[in-house]
Amino acid sequence: MRAQGRFAEAIPEYETVLAVDRNWVNAYFGLGQCKLRTGAIKETIPLVERAIRLSPRDPELGVWFNEIGVGHLLQSNTEEAIIWFQRARNAIPAHSIFRSYFAAAYAPRGDGERAAAELAEARRLSPDDRYSSLAHLRTFFNCDVPKIRALREAAYFAGLRKAGMPEE
């Protein structure tokens, strides 16, 4: 269900899994991701932090770090978001989305040069042209609830716009 963008429906399934097995790391991350996409951002971070504590050397660690960064960015905690995006980048240096979030976080701080460099790196690392325009990138986030779409627009897309990504 999560993979299909049916985040609200996946939440009780993850909760059932965790009721049976409190140590299933991927269920904590999956539940956290679903909570973020359905608007329960404050519940996301502790869930993903639990996954990190249970599996501190997990190969998906960078993705988990990034999810916490996204939670902070959407709540306008830019400085905290940058810390988590750095951890994500350090864990998986060639992941393009981490660089795009970096660009979005640096731009509002007035660090346009660094934001533009991170955006350029996201484009270079991306296997497709998703970072060619904001309109194109938005198509990858079409499952978010309205609250999260608005927050993503105000934080992520606004930051990318300041970093130099064109609308079309």
Per-residue tens of pLDDT for the chain, all 168 residues? 999 999 999 999 999 999 999 999 999 999 999 999 999 999 999 999 999 999 999 999 999 999 999 999 999 999 999 999 999 999 999 999 999 999 999 999 999 999 999 999 999 999 999 999 999 999 998 888 999 999 999 999 999 999 999 999
CA pair distance 108, 129, nearest whole angstrom: 24
The CATH code of the domain at 63-168 is: 1.25.40.10
Q: Which of 44, 100, 91 is nearest to 72 (CA)?
A: 44
In Å, how far are 42, 111, 126 from 161, measured between CA atoms? 26, 13, 18
What is the structure's pLDDT at 86?
A: 96
Residues in the chain: 168
CA pair distance 1, 78, nearest whole angstrom: 30
CA pair distance 71, 108, nearest whole angstrom: 17
- Three-state secondary structure call for residue 126: coil
What residue ranges do the domains of the chain occupy? Answer: 1-58, 63-168
Task: Establish whether domains 1-58 and 63-168 are of one fold.
Answer: yes
* CATH C-level class of 1-58: mainly alpha
Burial class (CB in 10 A: 0-12, 13-18, 19+), 6: middle
Residue 168 is given by DSSP the state -
